[in-house]
Amino acid sequence: MWERVTSGQSGAAVFRGRGVYRKVTPDAEIEAATMSWLRAHGLPVAEVVDIGPDWLVTREIGGRTAADTWPEDLRPRVVDALAEVTRALHALPVDECPFDRSLAIVATEARQAAASGRIDLGDLDHERQGWTAAQLVAALDEQLPVMSEREVLAVTHGDWCLPNVVLNPETVIVIGLLDTGRAGRADRYTDLALMNRSLRSDALNAHYGTELADRYLNRCGHHAADDDKLGFYCLVDEFF
């Protein structure tokens, strides 16, 4: 018996069984592959136990997500744990990673998403609310040449935000990474931008805020010279 847990993006839905989760998604095969690769390289990713053409089944990971409302005194520890696992992820051997999420690939997918009407224009960041798909593509094309020249590849999660990280509530250690379907070789700011936005957002009611978001960036080695990358990779995320 499967109990529906939540609906995700891109048509994904998640169901809970006895000790396992079943995710229905058109990207099941790539997500299973990225999960297995990351797990084989020491990252805390659930074990894939079964897969079909549009679904996969994984072992359950107990714990609480970083998007949950943590006690105020534990929030710095949550942020430090996020930074630690971010650094570990980005330190993986990029030359061995078989998944290409570089700007050359992602920009093509972004334009395809715009052309096919797959962008959720009702869920844009505050500064782009009311934009059309054409405006998003124009902004992407304007910045893409410079950002491509400055791209430095690492192994990235690709959808690196608070709901996709599970921690042990007692030890405040990361024990699970979720939704890895966009993982692959990309600039590390693909992850830093999205987690920074997630930490500063009021939408999740997780109560981290500016100070802890800055703490996260500092612990991940962010430099002020790359502030524009934070904005650019949030723009890229609007397409997916």
Catalytic (active-site) positions: 159
In angstroms, how far is CA 78 from the centroid of its own chain? 17
Rounded CA-CA distance 66/71 in Å is: 11
Q: Which helix (H) or strand (E) holds 166?
A: strand 165-167
Nearest to 14 by CA among 56, 65, 45: 56
Query: Given the structure tokens 């250690």, which residue do they identify?
Result: 173
Asked whether the beta carbons of 189 and 229 are under 8 A apart, the reply is: yes
Partner residues linked to 65 by β-bridges = 166
